[in-house]
Chain A
Amino acid sequence: MSFLEPLFLALGIAAAVPLLLHLMRRRAGARVEFPAVRYLVRAEQENSRRLRLRNLLLMLLRVLLVLLIALAAARPVGRLAGTGHPATALAIVLDNSLSSAAAAGGEPVLAELAGAARAALARATAEDRLWLVTADGHVTGGTADALLAVVDSTRPLAGAGDLPAALARAAALVQAAGLPARQLLLLTDAQGTAWQEVPTLPRVPVDAFVPAGPVPPNHAVIAAAARPVRFTPGGTIVARVAGADSTTYAVALLRDGAEPQTIARGTARAGEEIVVHTTPSVRGWTGGFVALPPDELRGDDRRHLAFWSGEPPAVRVDASAGTFVAPALDALVQSDRARRGAAIVVAAADVADRLPALLLPPADPVRVGAANRNLERLGVPWRFGTLRRGGADVRGERLEGVTASQRYTLQPAAGAVADTLATAGGDAWAVAGDGFVLLASPLAPTATSLPVRAAFVPWLADVLAQRLAADPGVVLEAAPGALVHAPEWVTAWAPAAGGPQQLVVEGALTAPTESGVYFLFRGPARAGALVVNPEPEESVLDRLSPSVLRSRLGVRDAQVHASRDAFAAAAFDPAAGRSLLAPLLAGALLVMAMEGWTARRGAAGRG
């Protein structure tokens, strides 16, 4: 039994009043002379047993009455024997995360969880309000039969989902139902990584079912990526596997209209980085995966990746770019990351004659005006402002440790879109746009440390290949079903394996629930890829102990059951919330009537 207003239990102290009156009544009163005391003595002797019983009964009835009123004021919620369970608002949270697909004892964990859910739903009545919430937050409400159908059709997710959020959502549903009896049923494999956060729940009792048995062994690809994202045309695929021991792997690339091409096989130890250099035959945006042999959890045995493959950019370095760019380009050419040509220009902004170009400030400040005029002519919506001196750290990708001692402020012109690649001293230091990358410092050691840093060549390669060599493209990574913010120019997406395109409005899309590679489209052309993979931590199947899980559920009234029968018996627990107010008030009225009847019998004796 629990109480909604427990402070009113203090009224029970008043029960001492009739008790004290009963104990003190024989000591009260004055001394009165009465000659016929002998008759009184005889009457008392004859009546004393009945009187004692009546007075004791009256005292007990009055104490009981006070206690019943105090209990009723505290608004108890509890069990009434033999009345079945009250109308209950009950939500079942079914953990169908990827880990629930792990086979244990020849049967997926989810099948055992679903069996427990069915056993619990078998106790539902027509008066109950029921919901089923899966790990991805999907809610189904309705009758027990409707929920049983959903339970039967529920399949494991390709990712972790968000169980704490699902539990919080379920709690909100039962809380809003307005029924005094509320309960949450959680069916989960108690995977430790799924319960890192403690949900904030209202005061709702939670009964959890965690299947007993050992955790199955699992190998998983926990990382896979193409480096760089733009192969020119070669690149590297990097991957890492997890597991108790070593395992074989295969790296494969997708081919339009054909089976994936396996480009590498091998054996890797747990945590070892797999590196595969490859020059794919396909050009443009494509994908691939790193796969392991099937094991108890197959959903994490394959991890997808995507990249762009094409010819290396043709670059011409103008003398105005300074003395450091040309050697860097030589290094890129030698490594097939670039080639010499005129497709991309690297030059000072005052002499560049075309886009795409990597534009630098003129070495002579007096040429800034000419540079700005040339930027206007080229259609670059940025202008050089005042020259600032003094060291400032440059912050941007691949620019760690770079400083800028001389820099111009970069001032946006009308129509400029802020695509800032790096900042220095809080100001834009490198900005990008359609066909240009503009720096605020000349590539000279007197202006910035970038040319003399080891990161200069990779940075230059990225700028040439990713920003200037072709249309803008992007590789997005997401968990299954996650909300993804894509660039605004993404108009649609479609599975790499083929299928209808799905439109994207204002860059917002929901990742598919199946792992894989999905191409992004800018109009009719592929312009990137969405790579959907399960969360790496979902591959760690270690379970929480019942006590730890109980502490992670965020409610005091939480029970963890390992037995399906015990769990089913706890479902729709009558003790979970029938209001006892009416029975208590009825009891109080009955006691009041009994007290009145007993007292009237005494009063009739007085009359």
Chain B
Amino acid sequence: MDPTRTTRADLFDPAALAALGRIEIVARWIVDGFLTGLHRSPRKGFSVEFAEHRPYQPGDDLRYLDWRILARADRWVVKQFEEETNLRATIVLDVSRSMAWSGAPARLTKLAYAEQLTAALALLLLRQRDAVGLVRFDERVRSAVPPRSRRAQWQRILVALADPGAGRSSDAPAGLLQAARLVRRPGMVVLVSDLLLEAAAVERSLRELRAAGHDVTVLHIMDPAERDLSLSGDAIYVDPESGLEVPATLADVRDVYRATVDDAIREWRRLCASADAAYATILTDAPFGVPLRQAFAARQRQP
């Protein structure tokens, strides 16, 4: 199946899309669909130094079509040129146990969604010749892939995404610090997390990143059930990381819970704004195009 020929994969239901193939395949579909939706090639630097060929995609500028290969082999390929990369992006991914949760069997876990998003975002950036790195953290930094813009970088990121995680806590400052170490020059840092962590420490780290000249985007991943407490029944609810137990009748606290979550989101937005970081709440039933657009907008702000 080639969803790009029929419809845009970035607008697919995430769970349904993820069920169609492995992460790298799905990520390509997402990115292809996303780029198709832009109506123009986002790529820059096509006039600099030839780098490689790639298959032609609808929307590519025909000026870069390699006519000789078309005439000789009847293959539609475009020429790509190595541009001097001045953007280094690092995706900081929360892989703690709280991320490995879904409010409904038909939905992706927050972690699965975030990994799919990370893969797609990395691919999108790499296609723009940006250097992309990855830092995975839970209670500690689980893996760190330094930013590179090579073709094999994406495979390295995919391999890193397959590493184990699911620690009992989230140490986002450590992940962000690691990202700052990996990106010496001012670049872009994208934090992908459910933000079930201490806000003050995160705020400090964000401020430090901004002070170092990094552009920071926080993608707050939430399951819809966490957002509106659409679960039901009396139960003892257990925090998978801290083990904290709360007996509750959700029907009784739903309104207050929603208000509490609204307050939390508002607080994160305020916190990020004060740290001059972009912030977006991403629900795991939202098509991947939504967070990609958020992250891509951040990229577009870069020189």
A44 touches B246 (CB 8 A): yes
Note all chain B residues with C-beta closer than 8 A to A30: 235-236
| Bound-complex Cα distance A44 to B245 (A) | 12
Note all chain A residues with C-beta closer than 8 A to B69: none
**Interface of chain A residues 38 through 65 with chain B (CB within 8 A):** 38-44, 46-47, 51, 54-55
Q: A32-B236, A35-B196 are in contact. List 19 more A-B contacts (CB 8 A).
A: A25-B249, A26-B234, A30-B235, A32-B238, A35-B240, A37-B238, A38-B239, A39-B260, A39-B261, A40-B246, A42-B260, A43-B253, A44-B253, A46-B256, A47-B253, A47-B256, A603-B251, A605-B255, A606-B251
Q: How far is the CB of B264 from chain A (nearest CB, A)?
A: 6
Given A31-B245, A603-B251, are A39 and B237 neighbors across the interface (CB < 8 Å)?
Answer: no
A-B contact pairs, 6 of them (CB 8 A): A32-B238, A33-B237, A35-B240, A40-B237, A47-B256, A606-B254
Partner of B261 from the list A26, A35, A36 (CB cut-off 8 Å) is: A36
* Prevailing SS type, chain A contact patch: helix
Given A36-B196, A41-B246, A43-B260, are A31 and B236 neighbors across the interface (CB < 8 Å)?
Answer: yes
Q: How far is the CB of B100 from chain A (nearest CB, A)?
A: 9
Note all chain A residues with C-beta closer than 8 A to B245: 31, 37
A25 touches B260 (CB 8 A): no
Within 8 Å of chain A (Cβ to Cβ): is B247?
yes
Within 8 Å of chain A (Cβ to Cβ): is B194?
yes
**Interface residues of B, Cβ cutoff 8 Å to A:** 97-99, 101, 110, 194, 196, 223, 226, 229, 231-242, 244-257, 259-261, 264
| Bound-complex Cα distance A37 to B101 (A) | 13
Partner of A35 from the list B226, B246, B253, B259 (CB cut-off 8 Å) is: B226
| Bound-complex Cα distance A33 to B235 (A) | 10
Within 8 Å of chain B (Cβ to Cβ): is A426?
no
Q: Name the CB-closest residue of B to A606.
A: B251
A35 touches B239 (CB 8 A): yes
Q: How far is the CB of B104 from chain A (nearest CB, A)?
A: 13
A37 touches B234 (CB 8 A): no
Q: How far is the CB of A69 from chain B (nearest CB, A)?
A: 26
Q: Mark A383-401, 1 if CB is under 8 A from B, else 0.
A: 0000000000000000000
A29 touches B234 (CB 8 A): yes
Q: How far is the CB of A496 from chain B (nearest CB, A)?
A: 96
Q: Name the CB-closest residue of B to A47.
A: B256
**9 closest A-B pairs by CB:** A606-B251, A35-B98, A37-B239, A29-B234, A43-B257, A29-B235, A47-B256, A34-B237, A43-B256
Q: How far is the CB of A560 from chain B (nearest CB, A)?
A: 59
| Bound-complex Cα distance A42 to B255 (A) | 12
* Prevailing SS type, chain B contact patch: mixed
| Bound-complex Cα distance A51 to B249 (A) | 10
**Interface residues of A, Cβ cutoff 8 Å to B:** 25-44, 46-47, 51, 54-55, 602-603, 605-606
Q: How far is the CB of B6 from chain A (nearest CB, A)?
A: 36
Note all chain A residues with C-beta closer than 8 A to B196: 35-36, 38
| Bound-complex Cα distance A603 to B256 (A) | 13
Note all chain A residues with C-beta closer than 8 A to B223: 35
Partner of B257 from the list A39, A54, A603 (CB cut-off 8 Å) is: A39
Q: Name the CB-closest residue of A to B96.
A: A35
Note all chain B residues with C-beta closer than 8 A to A603: 251
A605 touches B226 (CB 8 A): no
Note all chain A residues with C-beta closer than 8 A to B251: 602-603, 605-606
| Bound-complex Cα distance A29 to B247 (A) | 8
Note all chain A residues with C-beta closer than 8 A to B255: 605
| Bound-complex Cα distance A14 to B25 (A) | 63
Partner of A602 from the list B240, B246, B252 (CB cut-off 8 Å) is: B252
Note all chain B residues with C-beta closer than 8 A to A27: 247
Q: Name the CB-closest residue of A to B110.
A: A35
Note all chain B residues with C-beta closer than 8 A to A32: 231, 235-238
Note all chain B residues with C-beta closer than 8 A to A605: 251-255
Note all chain A residues with C-beta closer than 8 A to B98: 35
B235 touches A46 (CB 8 A): no
Q: Name the CB-closest residue of B to A603.
A: B251
Given A26-B247, A28-B234, A44-B246, are A34 and B239 neighbors across the interface (CB < 8 Å)?
Answer: yes
Note all chain B residues with C-beta closer than 8 A to A38: 196, 239, 244
Q: How far is the CB of A362 from chain B (nearest CB, A)?
A: 114
Q: Name the CB-closest residue of A to B234.
A: A29
B101 touches A33 (CB 8 A): yes
Partner of B250 from the list A42, A54, A606 (CB cut-off 8 Å) is: A606
Note all chain B residues with C-beta closer than 8 A to A41: 244, 246
Note all chain B residues with C-beta closer than 8 A to A36: 196, 226, 261
Note all chain A residues with C-beta closer than 8 A to B229: 40
Note all chain A residues with C-beta closer than 8 A to B253: 40, 43-44, 47, 51, 605
Note all chain B residues with C-beta closer than 8 A to A35: 97-99, 101, 110, 194, 196, 223, 226, 239-241
